[in-house]
Amino acid sequence: MKLPLIGALVAGALAAFAQAPYDLPALLLVGMAAAVWLYRHMVRPLRAALLGWAFGVGYFMHALQWIMSPFMVDAARHGWMAPFALVFLSAGLALFWGAAFWAARKLSRSSWPLILTWSAAEMLRAYIFTGFPWAMPSQATVDTLASRALAFAGPYALNLILIVAAVGLVARGRWRRTLLPRGFALVVLFSLFMNATDMNLNVAIGKHYFPDGETGRPVIRLIQPNATQRDKWDPEKIPVFFNRQLQYTAAPPTDPQAPPDLVIWSETAIPWALDLARGALREIAAAGGTAPVALGVQRRSDTRYFNSMVALDPTGVPAQIYDKHHLVPFGEYMPLGDFLANFGIYGLAARAGNGYSAGPGAKLLDFGPLGKALPLICYEAVFAHDVNAAPARPDFLIQITNDAWFGKGAGPKQHLAQARMRAIEQGLPLARSANTGISAMIDPYGRITASLPLNSAGFLDVALPRHLPATLYSRTGDLPFAVLLLLGLAGAAVRAGGVARYRGP
């Protein structure tokens, strides 16, 4: 049993090379296929579960190495937690995959139930315990032709497609003789090698679907101050970062014929709570001139704090306010936070006790000629269903984030990949302002039209791409796929019960 477990760990680590910063998506399919091949030799459900768990541990330990970075911001206080965070998070997430392998083996001695149980496990991972769908298999496809399925089927159905391909690569018995599973797997593998941005799809599909760009579109200025998390709240450096953002906001337009129509600052862009920042807000609005400014700020209400985004009117008064509703557990808030505070335990980003409070839900902000935008603050862009929760279809998406927490490599790049997924799923452009990067404009196909490098300071004037008609996934959300998945699992359970009765006691 030791050798299969070691093989599963190695296969998981190999599959994680599909995620940023490596971006080798074909290795995802190879690693998953290796796990399925090992699974075929696990007759007992418990051994199958251990194999799936080991594969998950190898995968998540590699893909989520960046999770240690937040604990190193204040190393004296939190540094000791970093290795435990990586180990326990990876082991915990791997339980979903271990349960999927166990359930599949309970249902059948064949490999095909793994398609249903593994897909279900990934969907559950996105929803239960507030959800954490980071590094799901479909995330690795964002640069490839396979990512186009996101607009039609969404991320969880694309997970299923990838799992079908992995099972198909090692198909055996009568399924192997039909050549269908192997052929499907090769088509998916081919799509993972095809870079959707580099391919000349204008010829194959038509410029209506992949336009080369338009003139006369509204211009958004994205501000990136590059305030490292260690320095962000340093009283001596606060004026440096604040003045830097003011200077970028007031700078002449990159194109004199196309001044900015909107300026976006990043998450918690200023250190003062909203009610204490009236003077600063007036300076920000004045620097914006005729362009409204939207920025991230902490907001106080009685004894509660909110992680918010505000849109300022020309006088610096917050005309519109959105409070983040999907918070990071153990980061922005601590369960039983006031009690744990007695022992000196706080969330990493918490300002006091329980930390931030959750807002009431998704909300659209109206930016006049630009249209209505759905704001997403940092972590909210990780969840496809948070975008589908918009009260109406927006014209574009805005993500403000402080990825300084995520380190200088994989974390920010994986976060950007997820923002690109949301754009594809909705057929909407996404304007992204990140404190330390990567700030970018993303078109409705997930392509980056312009960006600022990671860990650099600057600003970017970039045209807002036109949105597409509502995608199938934006109209249906996850419910149809969830229903089909439940029906498939129910059918597999009925079939397994029928086989057991046929075999006798």
Active site residues: 267, 324, 378
Looking from the CA of 32 toward its CB, the CA atoms found within 13 Å total 31
In 3D, which of 263, 269, 326, 252 has the Cα closest to residue 294? 263
- Cβ neighbours for 240, distance < 8 A, ≥ 6 positions apart: none
| End-to-end CA separation in angstroms for the chain | 29
DSSP E strand boundaries for 420-494? 430-434, 440-442, 448-451, 458-463
State the number of CA atoms in the 13 A half-sphere of 314 facing the CB: 4
Of 218, 294, 226, nearest to 253 (Cα)?
218
Whole-angstrom distance, CA of residue 338 vs CA of residue 352:
8
CB 29 within 8 A of CB 189: yes
Peptide bond preceding 453 in cis form (omega within 30 of 0): no
SS3 label, residue 17: helix
- Residue partners of 501: CB distance under 8 A and separation at least 6: none
Torsion of CA 360, 362, 363, 369, to 10 degrees: 170
